[in-house]
Amino acid sequence: MKTYPITAVLLGLLFLSCSFDYREAQVPEDLEDTIPNIVLKGFRQTVVSKGKVVLRIQVEKAEGFERKKRTIFQQVEFSEFDEEGQLLTRGRADSVVYESDTRNATVSGKVMIHSLREEGKIRAESLTWNDKERVLTSPEGDRVRLEDDKGSWIEGKGFTADLRRLSVTFSGPVRGEYVVEKK
């Protein structure tokens, strides 16, 4: 096959003269916060430490927003295990918004967390976790219910749980029932 230097030069000039304008394909800055960088559906994750499962998470949909350092999970179920493989905590929620830079989270929609170690449950429509302060709160007007596995319960509005001080407070109306075990 014979090469034609002039043809090669012309083709080279043609390709060099072509420019692609990617600006049209870029997402406008005002939309960057609304369009996820990644979307996962039917997501399941199992975390293993020292050969034992320590966490299982099942999510119907996860959307990651890299610039905002935020992940939004839909229809979440999780189970946490100790180093022997015994179930410690299980829970579910309709939605979880996790901020990876602060490790804060807002959990909402039919929230239920059951701690087998503490022998109790928490039920709410919305809870916010502040990792730095180690505080779990609900919106002021939302009702939160705490139940123990023996049948006692307390519910009220304006819930705050300070895990550093191991205290729980309600700022609004509270009601409950204490069950005494017969010996």
Pick the CATH number of 27-177 from 3.30.70.1070, 3.40.50.2300, 3.40.50.720, 2.60.450.10: 2.60.450.10
pLDDT tens digits, one per residue of 6-25: 554 444 444 444 455 555 55
Beta strands in the chain (DSSP E): 38-49, 52-65, 70-81, 87-99, 104-115, 120-130, 135-137, 143-148, 153-157, 159-162, 167-170, 174-177
So what's the pLDDT on residue 155? Answer: 96
Choice among 29-33, 44-48, 55-59, 116-120 with the minimum mean pLDDT: 29-33
Domains of the chain by residue range: 27-177
- Please give the pLDDT value at position 78: 94
79-91: average pLDDT: 91
**What distance in Å separates the CA atoms of residue 159 and residue 144, rounded to the nearest whole number?**
7
pTM of the predicted structure, to 2 decimals: 0.75
User: In the predicted model, is pLDDT for residue 38 greater than 80?
Assistant: yes
Say whether pLDDT at 27 is over 70. Answer: no
- DSSP result, 35-76: S-SEEEEEEEEEEEETTEEEEEEEEEEEEEETTTTEEEEEEE
